[in-house]
Amino acid sequence: MTDRPHVLYPELARLGHELEVPEGALLWKEGDPGDSVMLLLDGELEVVNEAAQGEEVLLRIVQPGGVVGEMAAGGAPRSASIRARTYCRVMRVPSSDFRALLRARPDILEDMYWTQVERVRSLTRQVTRTHQRAITDPLTRLYNFGFFRERLGLELERARETGDPVALVMFDIDHFKHYNDQNGHQEGNVVLTRVAELVREIGRRGDVIARYGGEEFVALLYGAARDEAAHFASIVREKVEQERFPGGERQPGGRVTISGGVAAFPEDAGEEEPLIKAADANLYRAKQGGRNRVVSDPA
């Protein structure tokens, strides 16, 4: 995110004194007291935060005419670090002089307020996109394995408190390696994407549908008992069987199919890992029983 370039507040430039800042130098660190405001005259500044494990996150780039440090000008700790992205010339204005200017010029205060609103909106969009990428499988657009495991733990904890049922359904595309060998990985990706769409379309609002890995998918159905989960899995199986995938006629049985295994909490297991294993065991039984079927009864 780069701040819009603009010539800001000539009044501010008359209040401070000019400094030269070499490339890479810090004007201040996150947490430092807000004793001054900087008006950038030339060059570029970086606004950065420290994230987990000491990693830096670039929040925005400041262009000439931009102001930094205004939010902490009352003496509050700095919310971010400021570093010279290039050689810079800045005008340093003491916080007391800056506050006096704002009291005399509320129009400047209003303009700065709307600038901050624009920044917050932009950062919110960036955070939303970044979070979505972090929890989403890039091919199928379903949730990824990591997010599924996190939600499974949370939902089972909630179910223990409320007594609600929870069901897991695991799916596996039958003879998927054969399909890839016959039709190529590009067409295989088409199958994965379309199967993912079908599972999501049939699922309820709020269900956690994830790509478990490879050609396997998993559905976390909060509040669903075994029979409801089995019904959901059967509809998915039927829809996949009815879909006409390119090259599907070269599959064993003449079409692309899917198998499913169902497990119910708390009947089959009371913890995350055993519940996953119970669903996987029923999926294995479905595959061993001839594929293109759903197994939901306990072993």
Is 226 in contact with 296 (CB distance < 8 Å)?
Answer: yes
Give per-residue burial for 184-199: e unless 16+ CB within 10 Å, then b.
Answer: eeebbeebbebbbebb
Catalytic, out of 215, 228, 241, 272: 215
Instruction: Classify burial at 273, counting beta carbons within 10 Å of its beta carbon; exposed 0-12, middle 13-18, buried 19 or more.
Output: exposed
Which residue, 145, 120, 139, is CA-closest to 209?
A: 145
| Residue 228 appears among annotated catalytic residues | no
Instruction: Give me the torsion for CA of 100, 102, 106, 109, rounded to 10°.
Output: -170
Cite the active site residues.
215
